[in-house]
Structure 1
Amino acid sequence: MYNLLISLGIGLAIGAAIALGTEFGWAAAVFPALLAATIAYFLLARRTWKQLEAVFEGMQADVRAQKLDKAVQTLQGGFRLAPWQFLVAAQLHSNIGILLFIRQDLDAALPHLEKSFSRNWIARGMLGVARYKRRDLDGMKRVFEDAVKTNKKEGVLWSAYAWILEELNRHADAIAVLGRAVQANPSDEKLKGSLQLLQNGKKLKLGKVYGEQWFQFMLERPPPQFVGGPGFRGGKRAIYGRG
């Protein structure tokens, strides 16, 4: 990435200047070179992230105006920053995938969700749901297993995984997933309540528990009060700038 290469170049130049232009030699030049490269990388990376934040702010404005196509175009314009900094492309793919998924365009969303940032739990959850809807059940399981390992504190992610397993008549597996979720989040009463429902042979009621956070995964039809609400306009709960 350009920021790293430029920083290394700055560090090498300073190191060479000290080693060749003074009597101190290469041994004394190592620390100043490393320090210069580190400072340069920090400043360059910060500049790129600021530019990316401006792209996300523009996207959010488009979404609030319910212009999803324009929001996607705004994000696509951010790919000019991808060669400069690590993870920029993954952040952009995450948010484009989320927007296209909310628009229920799975064909367009999937390639972006596949490249989404591992810590953007919404994008990873939507990828798991997309795999499920395509009947790629092995792929669905792999995605959710990786997602819950990386995002252990996101109860709605665990719950979506369990809900899908329950829909597939894999009741014992659904209970096992929520059991792991409770173990990872012992103070999460929502997860405990959902686990108890399954153990008692009852249906999960995730819409009542998580509201728009649940309905954004499009696994159940939202009630009228959620349609057009913040989560479906790409509010902060639905879309995150840096995953």
Structure 2
Amino acid sequence: MLTLLISLSVSLLAALGLYFVTYNYIWSLMLMVVLILALNFFIGRHFLKKLTTVFQEIEKDLKNNRFEKAINRLKNAYSFSKWQFFVKEQINSQIGIILYMQKKFNEAKDYLEKGFAKNWMGMAMLATLYFKEKNYEKVKSTMEKAIKNAPKEGFLYSLYAYFLTEMGEKDKAIEILVKGSKKAPLDEKLESNLEALKNGKKMKMRNYGTLWLQLNIEKMPQGFKPYQMVLARQKIRRR
């Protein structure tokens, strides 16, 4: 992207300039490395601040039910994608999440499929859409990717286990919960679900509250508004 291109170009010119003055390639290489790291950091931080401001405005829009305005802000932020890697994917995930919460599932799917693999909420929503379509192989591959990128999110293990039990793969579901209990040992809800399956009982996904309800697998209570909570749990990433 442009940040990396500018960092490389400026650093290379500076290194060449130093070499023609000193004829010392070691100092030239050291200068080049230092400048690449410094320029990439400062330029990246500049655009990260701009993106953070955009996301703060979006959160205000969602609190006030201005969903279309929030989506338009996100689409305008696509312009930052030429400066930083994965910005477009992160924006796609956020748009997909907002559309999903509005129950515009077909539109949401298009964005979530082009989203950021490290946005675990977006991945959970995408897996849910595949589950509703009975595309179980896609459910598994999406959940495996989500867990790989967010290994300490206990909810993901429980969600994956829920899907597997619904597919008739109880033993595999128990394996996933055991794995999750090691990665997220403080998640009491996960431990409870593991014990339930071991004892032949049903998992209690409602214990996860908003995290579970916002997936629309069960009917949402009247007046339920999870938008603020969704964005609050997301983090903008430079890489």
- The question of a shared fold, defined as TM-score above 0.5 by the shorter chain, is answered with yes
Normalised to the residue count of structure 2, the TM-score between the two structures is: 0.92
Residue 236 of structure 1 deviates from its aligned partner by 4.8
**CA deviation profile, 1:126-156 (whole Å, cap 9, x unmatched):** 1111111122111111111121122121111
CA distance in 1, matches of 2:63, 2:233: 12
- Tell me the distance in 2 between the aligned counterparts of 1:23 and 1:173: 64
Q: SS at 2:215's partner residue?
A: coil
Cα distance, 1:73–1:87 mapped onto 2, change above 3 Å: same
Q: CA contact under 8 A between 1:175 and 1:199: conserved in structure 2?
A: yes
**Structure 2 residue 210 is matched with structure 1 residue 212:** yes
Q: Is the 8 A contact 1:11 1:37 kept in 2?
A: yes
Partners of 1:86 and 1:11 in 2: how far apart? 20
Q: CA deviation at 1:81?
A: 0.4
- Unpaired runs of 5+ residues, structure 1, are none
1:221 counterpart residue number? 219
Shift of the alpha carbon at 1:24? Answer: 3.3
What corresponds to 2:164 in structure 1? 165
Is 1:13 equivalent to 2:7 in the alignment? no
Tell me, in whole angstroms, the C-alpha distance in 2 between the residues paired with 1:237 and 1:38. 30
Check whether the contact 1:64–1:235 (CA below 8 A) recurs between aligned residues.
Answer: no
Looking at structure 1, the residues matched to 232 and 158 of structure 2 have their Cα atoms a distance apart, in angstroms, of 17
Worse-matched range after superposition: 198-207 or 137-146: 198-207
Q: Distance in 2 between matches of 1:238 and 1:112?
A: 20
User: 2: CA distance between counterparts of 1:220 and 1:114?
Assistant: 23
Q: Secondary structure of 1:242's partner?
A: coil
Q: Which stretches of structure 1, 4 residues or longer, exceed 3 Å deviation after superposition?
A: 23-27, 236-239
Seq. identity, %: 30
Equivalence for 1:133: 132
Residue of structure 2 equivalent to 1:88:
87
Offset at residue 237 of structure 1 (A):
5.8
The corresponding residue for 1:185 is: 184
Partner of 2:229, secondary structure, is coil
Displacement after TM superposition at 1:84 (Å): 0.6
TM-score (norm 1): 0.90
Q: Match of 2:229, as an amino acid?
A: G
Report the Cα distance in structure 1 between the residues aligned to 2:38 and 2:102, rounded to whole angstroms. Answer: 42
Q: Which runs of 5+ in 2 are unaligned?
A: none
Larger deviation: 39-48 or 187-196? 187-196
2:57 partner letter: G
Aligned residues: 237
Alignment partners' CA distance in 1, 2:198 and 2:22:
75
CA RMSD of aligned residues (A): 1.8
Q: Tell me how far apart the structure 2 counterparts of residues 239 and 183 of structure 1 sit (CA, whole Å).
A: 22
Distance 1:26 1:9, change over 3 A: same
